[in-house]
Chains A and B, each alone.
Chain A
Amino acid sequence: MKAVEDAKQAVQGAASAVMAKAVQMAPDSWMPGGKPDPLIRAQHGHVGRPISRVDGPVKVQGAAPYAAEFPLDGMLYAALVFSTIAKGKITALDTDAAEAATGVKLVMTYRNAPRMKPMPLFMTSEKACGGNDLPVMQDAQVYWNGEPVALVLADTQEQADHAASLIHVAFEEEHAITALAEAKAKGVEPGQFMGQPLKFENGAAEQALADAAHKVDQRYTTPRHSHNAIELHAVAVAWEGDRLRVHDATQMVAHSAWSLGHVFGIAEDQVHVTSPFVGGGFGGKGLWQHQVLAAAAAKLAGRPVRLMLSREGVYRIVGGRTITEQRVALGADAEGRFDALIHTGTTAMSHHNVLPEPFILPARSAYATKTMKLDVEVAYLDMVANTFMRAPGEAVGTFALESAIDELAHDMGVDPIELRLRNEPDKDPTTGAPFSSREVEKAFRDGAERFGWANRQAPGTRREGEWLIGTGVATATYPYYRMPGGAARITLTPNGAAIDIAAHDMGMGTATAQTQVAADRLGLDMAQVTFNYGDSTLPGVVMAGGSQQTAAIGASVMAAHRALVTELLKLAGNDSPLAGLDADEVVGVNGGLAKIDDASAHESYASILARAQRNELVVEAEPPSPLETTHWSMHSHGAMFCEVRVNAVTGELRVSRFLGSFDCGRILNPKTAASQFRGGIIMGLGLALMEETQYDERSGRIMNPSLAEYHVPVHMDVPEIEVMWTDIPDPHAPMGARGVGEIGITGVAAAVANAVFNATGKRVRDLPITLDKLL
């Protein structure tokens, strides 16, 4: 199975490499984004304004229903029992006491669970989104410590929880590989990500390193992290005949509908998944076993079921970010220009998922270098399937890369910003593609000025009482992605328009920003535009991941809008002031269409529809394939500035100032974007200072499955965070905007570690930077 998958991935990878070359060679005008989005020129609309969230009022009133808050008729509440061994077999299941407990309606184990297919593993086909591809409660085999082994349904949550504690499971343990050293000793394999090997070589990098005038060669390590969205993963499901209704908390409604259909052997349109509000996703709100188990139990019980994971449950069955061990080696000439950039290392993975933490991604496009060697190897552990977690790859990859650059700058006596700017590439260092827009220098210069970077002092020389003070800087970087599968529907009426797309708002402001965009595109007020999302029956297969939703929705709505305008011009006919114009010659303005350079040639939508005797006009369209991401090298960037205070007595580390200066193209809504940036930076502070999943290498068990023991930053750990941006539109991205969701976490850990070095003279290469490392 594994070999076949690898072979398939290799073939797809080779084919896409050939395709990529062709796309790069093609003329700009053939590309999506080859002609800039007309909206980029519009400077006086809703786009760019700090508009408050359209869903703000309903949220502060507590009236926004989240997945666990749909009271279905006759609904039962579910609780799970988890395995306590990493590998082996269930030898006995004592469920009698649970079955006899008050309120209990059903105990489901592998002995009575309906027959189901494994979840289709994420990225193995267009709409597959399973977090793992293991059997879901189908047999006695146990695959990881924390795997669900029994489910209880009862009239109340409390009854279900209590009954679950009465179930006794006996196991026969098999030898599990839970220690990284043993996993590595068994042999590592090359990492593959999205069909491409996580490997790149250009020239003889090791030789160039050996010959370089200046060099650093260091090892950096990062621990496991667990997803901790405030909203617990939850699902409410009901079978209506052979149709499955799912109220989910998900970043991928359409993917989930298809994948659940696959599991239960029904068509995707027999599964209806909605997710109107999600309390944080960050890569963790996909399809995990709890949705499948809830649907299976509902089928078995013949009643609707609500399953909300406990916080412990999230740690046990939802994957997080996996461990990495990275080597970064840099060789530079006398002026600091890179002769060699080597970023290699090992990450741990389960046998049943697709994400080797791709920590080399930042190095692919960040710096010019004469030679380069990148490589991610994978060691396999018997553990919960790891997964995507805010900026997978970049978050931890920038820690290593940007720490190493700081080390080289210090060794050479060069300012770390200047060293970075000396290595600015003029084209993509790995693909050779031109940059769509790259304002790295501006982000650094503007940020440095605002932060007061010029006041920086030599390491270990600033002190106030017990506190050593230092500043650090690092590059933030995240790619522009736009995944295939987008589609949108526009329903135009005399009074306004509705946009329908199976996209998501997990709290980041999608609906707000897209309402602004659609209003400007159509020439309507925001109040006249409704943005419908979070429903698998709507058009499109749009995942809220990879910071790509803004582009994916933007391109889909652009395509639908063009179809709408074409249709409207047809309907307008020869009696309209618009007669004879084509879709490229008009824009949406003042509740209708007007000639681009002559506002007097205008007709309202109401007028066009009335003349055509239509109450509404409905169009649906798909955008072109995202070839722009191959034709150009498209990335967001940022410069992260940090000031820390380190206590000379206790080693306690406090971040006292943080500034993020970003280049993400045009900012659609400064208010929601600033929150995205700040939220990312706060998560980055967690990564730098404290986050660590305590995985017991003896048992493969996660030992701190709670927010009391798994530390995330509290208010007192978070200083005032300043954010700023270039706001220079990317001419090749819809609306000129690249995503802002994930870049905020990148570069943060390195900026903190570099500031710690400046404060103390100590280099910490192992996250998190806890006080014992600074004593």
Chain B
Amino acid sequence: MTPFSFNRATDRDQALTLATRGARFLGGGTNLVDLMRETVERPAALADVTGLSREISETPDGGLMIGAAVTNSALAAHAAVRTRYPVLSRAILAGASAQIRNMATVGGNLLQRTRCTHFYDVEGSRCNKRQPGQGCDARGGFNRIHAILGASDACVATHPSDMCVALAALDALVHLASASGTRTLSLTELHRLPGDQPQIDTVLEPGELITAVELPASALAAHSTYRKVRDRASYAFSLISVAAAIEVEDGRIEDVRLALGGVAHKPWRATRAEESLRGQPASLDTFRAAAEAELAAAVPLSENGFKIELAKRTITAVLAELAGVDA
């Protein structure tokens, strides 16, 4: 680990000031500190922002505003989240371990970096995300957990978060602040596909701080779930995960939200599948066709071809379960 200075921000302005002097924001440290230990990240200064908002509050329009420093554990356990947005609670509990969730923050979870082992191997592997232009050893190397959608020649990494997959399905908003003011993004706009700049994970400007995540009111969300498929029963990143909410009336799909994890450089909102589902009869055939539509553009790597069929099956099973259709 490279030596660094450490400051604890007591309010937003102080945090932003520290950032303008080059400090990186530190949440629970469950990812950034690991990356610093591996020297993937070498920040000269850290600004601890866990003392900023830890509030979860109701919004005027019936949604929830979640402070960026709320821990993953607190969010998953929150009664309103459990009842009105069960997909989010389940997604969080499907990730990491209880100890890590107790430390990890909402803002930090959004900014997790990929778990590609070649990205982590500073001395021994080439990685365009770590060192632009160096090349990618994952493409012909270990890529079991890597992308099947939206990858580029430069990078095939996936975003590792479970929580973000649920947020993508829930149309969550991300509130940002910087020295030049505040702005709000859709969660699905926050992360970017790798293209030829895989070193850039999100659209955040330097020094921009995530202050809160907002969940809009949603009748649909109360009937939602998350399913994660991975290589052991717990404590593993997803091969495929599915966040979904569906509303069926008289056997027809009135509305649906669907997002996938473990498939791309960002939490993947399955808009193609959603389009093909709306207004259709709630049946296994419809669900499978929607999954096929979403995965039509999937490109397998040397080790992860199975994820295409796995994603289709998991999507179909999750929608069938939510819609009460027998598999």
Contact = CB atoms under 8 A, between A and B. Distances in A.
Contacts, number: 81
Interface stretch (B58-66, B233-241, B252-260, B268-276): B233-241
Given A466-B317, A649-B314, A771-B229, A162 B2 contact: yes
Contact of A466 (B1, B141, B327): B327
A770 to B, nearest CB: 6
Contacts of B327: 466, 649
Interface stretch (A228-236, A542-550, A689-697, A757-765): A689-697
For the residues of B in contact with A, the DSSP-based class is: loop
B140 A698 contact: yes
Interface string B305-316: 010011001101
Interface string B229-267: 101111110011000000000000000000000000000
B121 interface: yes
Given A145-B124, A649-B313, A694-B117, A711 B142 contact: no
Nearest to A158: B1
Contacts of A155: none
Contacts of A694: 117, 142
Nearest to A695: B142
A703 B3 contact: no
Nearest to B227: A650
Given A696-B142, A716-B233, A703 B121 contact: yes
Nearest to A654: B233
Contact of B142 (A162, A703, A771): A703
B125 interface: yes
Given A84-B124, A162-B3, A771 B314 contact: no
A158 B312 CA distance: 47
Contacts of B199: none
B232 A690 contact: yes
B118 interface: yes
A505 B195 CA distance: 55
Interface string A635-672: 00000000000000111101000000000000000000
B315 to A, nearest CB: 10
Given A145-B124, A775-B309, A650 B314 contact: yes
Which residue of A161, A704, A708 has the most chain B CB atoms within 10 A of its CB atom? A708
B233 A711 contact: no
A16 interface: no
A709 B115 contact: yes
B39 interface: yes
B123 interface: yes
Nearest to A710: B117
Given A696-B142, A704-B142, A709-B117, A652 B229 contact: yes
Contacts of A772: 306, 310
Given A84-B124, A703-B117, A703-B118, A716 B317 contact: no
B125 A703 contact: yes
Given A704-B117, A771-B229, A771-B231, A161 B1 contact: yes
Which residue of B117, B125, B142 has the most chain A CB atoms within 10 A of its CB atom? B117
B232 A711 contact: yes
Interface string A369-389: 000000000000000000000
A701 B121 contact: yes
Interface of A: 82, 84, 102, 145, 158, 161-162, 165, 466, 649-652, 654, 689-690, 694, 696, 698-699, 701, 703-704, 708-709, 711, 713-717, 770-772, 775
